Amino acid sequence: MKRDVPLSQIRNIGIMAHIDAGKTTVSERILFYSGKTHKIGEVHDGAAIMDWMDQEQERGITITSAATTTSWRDHQITLIDTPGHVDFTAEVERSLRVLDGAVALFCAVGGVQPQSEQVWRQSEKYSVPKLAFVNKMDRTGADFFGVVESIQNILGANAVPMVVPIGAEDKFEGVIDLVTMRAVYYSDEDMGATYHEENIPADRIEEAKTWRANLVEKCAEQGDDDLLEKFLETGDLSEEEIRKIIRHATVDRRVIPAYCGSAFKNKGVQRLLDGIVDFLPSPEDIPPIIHAHDDGKTELHANDDEIFAAMAFKVVADKHMGKLVFMRIYSGAIESGTTVYNSTQDKTQRIGRIIRMHANRQQALERAMCGDIIAVVGLSQTRTGDTICMKDHPVMLDSIEFPAPVMSISIKPATRQDNDKMGAALHALAEEDPTFTVGFDDETSETIIAGMGELHLEVLVERLKREFSVVADVGRPEVAYRETATIALEGQYKHSKQSGGRGQYGHVHLRLEPVEPGQGFSFENEVKGGNIPSEYITAVEKGVIKAMASGPFAGYPVVDMKVTVFDGSSHDVDSSEFAFTEAARVCFRNMFMQGHPELLEPIMLVEVSAPEDYMGSVTGSICQRRGRIESMSEQPGGIRVVEGRVPLSEMFGYSNAIRTVTQGRGNFTMHFERYEAVPFSIAEAIIKKRREANKVK
C-alpha cells in the first residue's frame, strides 16, 4: 500500500496544560492557520470546534480529548486537545500514552501551575518529547523568560528559548526567531493568518544576540565534537546545524524548545507549528516496541510492512454509529473489513469501518497505516488499553494505568422507564471512561457511581439525561474512604462444619503486614510440606480479597496490606475451595480488627488565587476545612496564590464558598495527592454515621 504522506513527515501530538492556559484557543488557531478550518471558533463564544460537546460549550472548558488531523509544510499533524481540569485526568493519561510528542502550554502570567506539574509528570511517565509554548503574552504581567526559568527550576527541564518576544502585555507585537535572526510581525487584518519578516529592530538587537548565543551554546553542549569545535572557533552555528541538533536533543528529551505568543491575539502560533514539524518526533523516531513471548523477544518497528500492532486508547458511544474505538497503529497496516485479534481479551473481531476524526465529524478511510490515529467501528468487545493485532502474530502492548476514583454518589432512576435504560447507559459511560466505576451496595440496595470529583460526576449525570434520556435522582457525594491495619500480626482460623454427609474443612494461618502507602495489596504463599494442598492456595487468596473488598472496621476497601499464608491443615474428604475461601475471609476479618485499624481519607492539593485584599478570608476558608497552608506566592497584578492540602470531604461546595469570600474574584483548582489517616474523633463520627445510614436503609 502506498502512503499519502511519508512516515517521517507524520507528527502525532497533544496539547497539555493547566486549566485555562488556552489549549483549545491554540488548537483552533492551528486548525485555522493550517487551512483545516476557514473560521476561528472561540471558546468564550461556545463555538470552538474542538470543544464540540454541549457541556464543553456551555462551561467553556474541555471535558473530552478531541482528535483532528491537519497539515503544515507537507507534514501530517494529528492533534489531540486534552482537558486541563483534574477531574478529567484520564483523557490526558490515555492521550499521552499513544502520542509521539506534546506541546506543553503555560500562561505567561501564571507560569508553572499545579496542573502543569501534574500533566508534565504524566508525560514523563510515557517519555514524551515536548515543546513549550508560553501563551497569553498580551496579558498584564506577562513574562516569557520568567516562565522559562520556572520551567527549568520547578519542572527540572532544560527549556531553551527559540524566540524572543517583541514587547509584552498590550505592547506585544510579534517575536524574534533566534534561528533565522529575523523579526516576525503578524497581520491584524486577517486574524494573523499572514505575517512578514523584517530585520531585528535596533533596540532589540543586543537582546536577540544574547539569546542567540544562549541557543548556540545549548547546541554545542549536546555532545557533537565537530560542532563543539566549530562553536569554539567561530562562536556560531548555521541554521541547519541548529535545527538538526535541537531536533535530536528534543527527541531524546534533553532539551525543551520554548516558544511564545498570544493565541487569542493571533500572534506566534505559526512559529510553534514550525517547531512541531522541525523538532518533535515522527513515528520513526520512537524506540521499537519490544514484545516478549515464549520463543524470546520480537522488536516491532514503525513500518507499514511489519506485524500489525495497535493500541485501543479510547472508547466512545456514538448515537449514530454505535461503539467507536480510537486506535494508534504502532506497526503494520489495516484495511476495513479485516478480522483482527484482541490479545488482551483473547477475542477475534472484524473491523467494519475505519474513520479519521475531526472533533465530532468523520472522514471514511479504506485503510490505515503505521503511525495513524484513527477510529474504527466493529470492535464491540474492545476496552480502553486493549492491544489489537493479528491472530497468527499475537502481540501484547503495555496497557494504560488510570488513577482510582476518589468520590462517589448514589443514583437511582426517577421512573420505572428510566430504570430499564439506566443500566445500559451506565455501562456505556463506564466503557468510555476508565476512572468512572459503577457498583451496587448490597447493604443499602443502591447503585453507586464513582469518579474523580464533583464536576466529573456532575457531567456524567448530565450526560445520562442528554445522551441516553435517563433522568436520575442522585444522593449527596460521598468520599472514597479506605482502611488499613497499622501493626503486623499473625493468626489462624479453622472453618469446620459437619451436617451429615460431606462436611466443610479449611484451616489457615495468616500473617498481616502493613506496607508503605500506595503499594496496594500483595499475597504470598509460604506453606511447606503440603499442609494446605496447592490447589487451595488460590482459594485462600480469594477469601482474603473478598474480606478486603468491604473492610471490617468501617465497611470501606482495605488497602496497603501484605498477606502471607504460612501454615494450615486440610481434610481428605471435607476440604474444598469454598471451605478455604471462607476460612481465609473470616481469619482476615478477625485479625484485621486486632491490627489497630485506621480510616484513610483522600487529601487534595488545593491552589487558590485571589486579589491580595482577600487573603485573610482565603486562608481562613482553608484552615476551617482542616487544611494545611503549604505556601503563598505572588503573581503580577496584585494576585496572590495560596497552596494547601485539604481533605476531600471538606471540599464539597467550595466553589460557591470561595466566590462568596472573594466577591467572585477568586478561583481554585485541586487534584488528588495521597491518602492520609483520618483524625480519631472524626473517624468515629464517620463510622457511626455510616452504620446508622445502613440500618435505616
Residue 268, pLDDT score = 94
Does residue 398 have a pLDDT over 80?
A: yes
> Predicted confidence band at 43 (pLDDT cuts at 50, 70, 90)?
very low
Confidence of residue 53 (pLDDT cuts 50, 70, 90): very low
Q: Do 69 and 368 contact (CB within 8 A), yes or no?
A: no
Range scoring the smallest mean pLDDT among 338-347, 386-395, 634-643: 634-643
Check residue 222 and give its pLDDT: 79
Type and span of the H or E element at 258: strand 256-260
**How many percent of the chain have pLDDT more than 90?**
43
What pLDDT does 399 receive? 83
pLDDT at site 360: 61
Taking each helix axis from N to C end, the angle separating 269-279 and 23-33, rounded to the nearest 10 degrees, works out to 80
Average pLDDT over residues 137-158: 93
SS3 for 590-653 is HHHCCCCCEEEEEEEEEEEEEEHHHHHHHHHHHHCCCCEEEEEEEECCCEEEEEEEEEHHHCCC
For 78-118, how does the pLDDT look when each residue is reduced to its tens digit (9 = 90+)?
988 777 555 667 778 888 888 999 999 999 998 888 678 77
At position 307, the amino acid (one-letter code) is I
Most confidently modeled range among 120-124, 556-560, 652-656, 658-662: 556-560
3 state SS for 23-90: HHHHHHHHHHHCCCCCCCCCHHHCCCCCCCCHHHHHHCCCCCCEEEEEEECCEEEEEEECCCCHHHHH
Q: Average the pLDDT over 446-473 and give the result.
A: 83
CB distance 313 to 328 below 8 Å: yes
pLDDT at 42 exceeding the cut of 60? no
pLDDT value at residue 641: 87
Residue 52 banded pLDDT, cuts 50, 70, 90: very low
Contact call for residues 488 and 512 (beta carbons, < 8 A): yes
Q: What percent of the chain has pLDDT over 70?
A: 90
For the chain, the first-to-last Cα distance in angstroms comes to 63
- Put simply, whether the predicted model's pTM sits higher than 0.85 gets the answer no
- pLDDT top residue among 47 and 39: 39
Q: What is the DSSP string of 126-193?
A: TT--EEEEEE-TTSTT--HHHHHHHHHHHS---EEESEEEES-GGG--EEEETTTTEEEEE-TTTTT-
Strands (E), 301-443: 309-318, 322-331, 334-335, 339-342, 347-350, 353-358, 361-365, 367-368, 373-377, 387-389, 407-413, 437-441
Confidence of residue 500 (pLDDT cuts 50, 70, 90): low
Task: Note the Cα 255 to chain centre separation in Å.
Answer: 23
d(CA 574, CA 505): 5
If we measure between CA atoms, which residue out of 601, 687, 611 comes closest to residue 650? 601
pLDDT score of 333 more than 90: yes
Strand, coil or helix: 393: strand
What CA–CA distances, in Å, run from 27 to 48, 60, 328, 484?
A: 9, 14, 20, 45
Q: How confident is the model at residue 51 (pLDDT cuts 50, 70, 90)?
A: very low
Confidence of residue 62 (pLDDT cuts 50, 70, 90): very low
**Selected residue with higher pLDDT from 657 and 544:** 544
Extract the C-alpha cell encoding 259: 516558544
Question: What angle (nearest 5°) sits at the alpha carbon of residue 261, between those of residues 27 and 82?
Answer: 30
Q: How confident is the model at residue 684 (pLDDT cuts 50, 70, 90)?
A: confident
Instruction: Give the pLDDT score at 605.
Output: 87
**What is the pLDDT at residue 56?**
42
**Residue 444: band (very low, low, confident or very high) from pLDDT cuts 50, 70, 90:** low
Lowest-pLDDT choice from 45-54, 140-149, 440-449, 468-477: 45-54
> Residue 246: is its pLDDT beyond 60?
yes
Higher local confidence (pLDDT), 39 or 146: 146
Task: Please give the mean pLDDT across all residues of the chain.
Answer: 85
